[in-house]
């Protein structure tokens, strides 16, 4: 396959020159300068465009389609659970916003305020929602009267604004982001507890089944829990390159704290006045950033097949004197067959780019599988398939196209998860003492340590690890607890340990 080989040099060692020639490629390497690599890969992969207001980013179709695929999954799942979508206003009056003290303390510094319309000053400044607890709960109070009004289970897909000043990062930390936020009220704590975990499982599935990113389910510490809530559960991801944990998505039990503040009461079956139990839960466009950080490589994005808007890119590899029309027809037939079988496949017929340029282009965009069709493939009634994740090549006979592609995509999806899990697991370090902890932190580990579970000790750990890289904090107490032998002491305080908890730096 001389013709094709000549053009695939991009994947065969001569990378640098080819990249220069095509104007594609990344100037930074993931292992050498992760921050710059990330900024470059989200832009060159056409997911993000930087915007002229700092901390705001444009989500281009290549990113938006991933968000939509996850949304379709999650929305259908919560509808099965009888959770209904609604839409509450973007704006919240300052009086209502400040009703729950702990809550507003957590958000106040980041709230954006509208004070003018046209040329007129507003009578009272109006806040833009950083989250919607205080927006919604006055109405929960109005709508809930008796036990038959419960459970009340609402969700909305919307934008929120948190005007943070620390390092903005596309997807991971931005001043406006997209999310879903669920807000539910129950008659009993048991029902609320159950839902917290059902939702957390959906979040796990988004990360592990869709984004192929391994996460750890657990509970946040008192210090790290949602401001004003009772307890917070989380799926925690980890980025080996930076040695930082990422709070992947959180499902909170709010207890009765907001119910008290907003007077969300109901009459139970016996005619007694009771307070509801509430949850709130959310996942955001941050999910996409975590996926990029975990799977991306020096050639660009690497998209898991389940969320890729183009799963298979078909590239004609014509050769002088070859049957060009036949090759183009075979490409069209391949796309048609795959689309009809339910795959998202496209062909790149552009005549102003070489096959080599196209290979690099679609590698940058992270398309899971490339199919090349050249004269020899045509003659042999086959296609050449090249995996994005590990560059493995195989020939698939046209007669077995659908099965071959299905198998390969399934394999890529699983393999991305397995490789990511292997790398993540290799970063997990079990420690018992402060010295071991400090050493592991220096090695950018995700640290599992026995802890006394005291808030003051967590604050102390933060203080003692302050530095250029940021302080360490607790990530989560995993539900899956290793045995804690009696007499085990806290790594930080030396007091009796109560649980194993993950620690590390985080986004």
Q: Which 3 state secondary structure label does DSSP give 238?
A: strand
Kindly tell me which of 75 and 193 has the beta carbon lying closer to its own copies. Answer: 75
The enclosing H or E element of 289 equals helix 286-295
Residue 426 buriedness (CB in 10 A; 0-12 / 13-18 / 19+): exposed
Longest dimension (CA), the chain: 88
Judged by CB under 8 A, does residue 73 bind its own copies? no
Of the ranges 119-127, 186-194, 354-362, 428-436, which one interacts with its own copies (CB under 8 A)? Answer: 119-127
Kindly tell me which of 110 and 395 has the beta carbon lying closer to its own copies. Answer: 110
> Of 28, 51, 328, 434, which lies in the binding site for its own copies, with binding defined by CB under 8 A?
51
Of the ranges 110-118, 255-263, 386-394, 476-484, which one interacts with its own copies (CB under 8 A)? Answer: 110-118
Judged by CB under 8 A, does residue 116 bind its own copies? yes
Judged by CB under 8 A, does residue 405 bind its own copies? no
Judged by CB under 8 A, does residue 336 bind its own copies? no
Classify residue 141 by its DSSP letter: H
Strand partners, 312: 345, 369
CB 282 within 8 A of CB 179: yes
User: Alpha helix (H) ranges present in 428-474?
Assistant: 434-442, 455-465
Judged by CB under 8 A, does residue 113 bind its own copies? yes
Total of chain residues touching its own copies, rule CB under 8 A: 55
Smallest gap from residue 185 Cβ to its own copies (A) = 14
Smallest gap from residue 115 Cβ to its own copies (A) = 5
> Of 13, 119, 270, 463, which lies in the binding site for its own copies, with binding defined by CB under 8 A?
119
Classify residue 208 by its DSSP letter: I
* Cα 493 to Cα 505: distance, rounded to the nearest angstrom: 19
Kindly tell me which of 53 and 463 has the beta carbon lying closer to its own copies. Answer: 53
Kindly tell me which of 114 and 399 has the beta carbon lying closer to its own copies. Answer: 114
Distances (CA, A) of 118 to 69, 114, 121: 38, 11, 8
Judged by CB under 8 A, does residue 161 bind its own copies? yes
Q: How many CA atoms lie within 13 A of 55 on its CB side?
A: 15
Touching its own copies, residues 350-389 (CB under 8 A): 350, 352
Q: Is the dihedral of CA 323, 324, 330, 333 positive or negative?
A: negative
Residue 266 sits at φ, ψ, to 5 deg, of -150, 160
Smallest gap from residue 60 Cβ to its own copies (A) = 6
Residue 176 sits at φ, ψ, to 5 deg, of -125, 140
- CB atoms inside a 10 Å sphere around CB 301: 25
Of the ranges 35-43, 174-182, 216-224, 420-428, which one interacts with its own copies (CB under 8 A)? Answer: 174-182
Touching its own copies, residues 80-109 (CB under 8 A): 84-93, 96, 108-109
Place of tokens 């709130």: 280
Length of the chain: 507
Touching its own copies, residues 52-71 (CB under 8 A): 52-53, 56-61, 64-65, 67-68
Angle between helices 401-427 and 286-295 (to 10 degrees): 90
Smallest gap from residue 425 Cβ to its own copies (A) = 34
Smallest gap from residue 269 Cβ to its own copies (A) = 11
Which residue ranges make up the site for its own copies (CB under 8 A)?
49, 51-53, 56-61, 64-65, 67-68, 84-93, 96, 108-119, 125-126, 128, 138-139, 142-143, 148, 154, 158-159, 161, 163, 175-176, 178, 350, 352
């Amino acid at each position: 396959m001389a013709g094709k080989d000549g053009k695939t040099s991009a994947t065969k060692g001569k990378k640098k020159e080819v990249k220069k020639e095509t104007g594609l490629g990344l100037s930074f390497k993931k292992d050498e300068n992760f921050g710059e690599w990330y900024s470059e890969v989200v832009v060159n992969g056409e997911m993000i465009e930087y915007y002229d207001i700092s901390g705001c980013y444009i989500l281009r179709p290549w990113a938006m389609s991933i968000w939509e695929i996850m949304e379709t999954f999650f929305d259908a799942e919560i509808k099965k659970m009888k959770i209904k979508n609604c839409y509450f206003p973007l704006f919240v009056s300052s009086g209502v916003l400040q009703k729950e003290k702990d809550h507003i303390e957590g958000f106040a510094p980041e709230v954006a305020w509208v004070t003018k319309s046209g040329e007129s000053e507003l009578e009272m400044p109006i806040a833009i929602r950083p989250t919607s607890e205080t927006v919604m709960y006055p109405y929960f109070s109005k709508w809930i009267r008796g036990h038959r009004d419960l459970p009340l289970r609402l969700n909305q897909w919307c934008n929120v604004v948190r005007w943070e000043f620390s390092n903005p990062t596309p997807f991971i930390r931005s001043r406006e982001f997209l999310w879903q936020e669920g807000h539910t009220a129950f008659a009993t704590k048991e029902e609320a507890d159950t839902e917290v975990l059902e939702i957390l499982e959906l979040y796990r599935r988004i990360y592990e089944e869709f984004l192929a990113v391994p996460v750890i389910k657990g509970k946040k510490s008192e210090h790290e829990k949602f401001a004003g809530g009772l307890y917070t559960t989380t799926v925690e991801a980890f980025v080996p390159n930076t040695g930082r944990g990422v709070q992947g998505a959180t499902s909170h039990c709010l207890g009765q704290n907001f119910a008290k503040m907003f007077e969300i009461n109901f009459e139970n079956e016996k005619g007694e006045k009771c307070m509801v139990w509430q949850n709130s839960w959310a996942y955001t466009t941050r999910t996409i950033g975590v996926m990029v950080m975990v799977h991306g490589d020096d050639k660009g994005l690497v998209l898991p097949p389940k969320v890729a808007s183009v799963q298979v890119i078909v590239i004609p590899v014509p050769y002088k004197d070859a049957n060009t029309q036949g090759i183009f027809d075979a490409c069209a037939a391949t796309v048609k067959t795959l689309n009809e079988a339910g795959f998202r496949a496209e062909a790149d017929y552009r005549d102003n780019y070489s096959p080599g340029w196209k290979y690099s282009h679609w590698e940058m965009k992270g398309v899971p599988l490339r199919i090349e069709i050249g004269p020899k493939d045509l003659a042999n009634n086959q296609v050449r398939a090249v995996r994005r994740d590990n560059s493995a090549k195989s020939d698939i006979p046209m007669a077995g196209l659908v099965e071959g592609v299905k198998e390969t995509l399934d394999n890529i999806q699983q393999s991305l998860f397995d490789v990511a899990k292997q790398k993540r697991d290799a970063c997990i370090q079990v420690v018992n003492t402060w010295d071991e902890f400090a050493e592991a932190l220096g090695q950018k580990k995700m640290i599992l340590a026995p802890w006394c579970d005291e808030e003051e000790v967590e604050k102390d750990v933060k203080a003692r690890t302050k530095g250029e890289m940021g302080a360490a904090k607790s990530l989560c107490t995993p539900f899956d607890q290793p045995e804690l032998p009696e007499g085990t002491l806290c790594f930080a305080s030396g007091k009796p340990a109560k649980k194993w908890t993950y620690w590390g730096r985080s986004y």
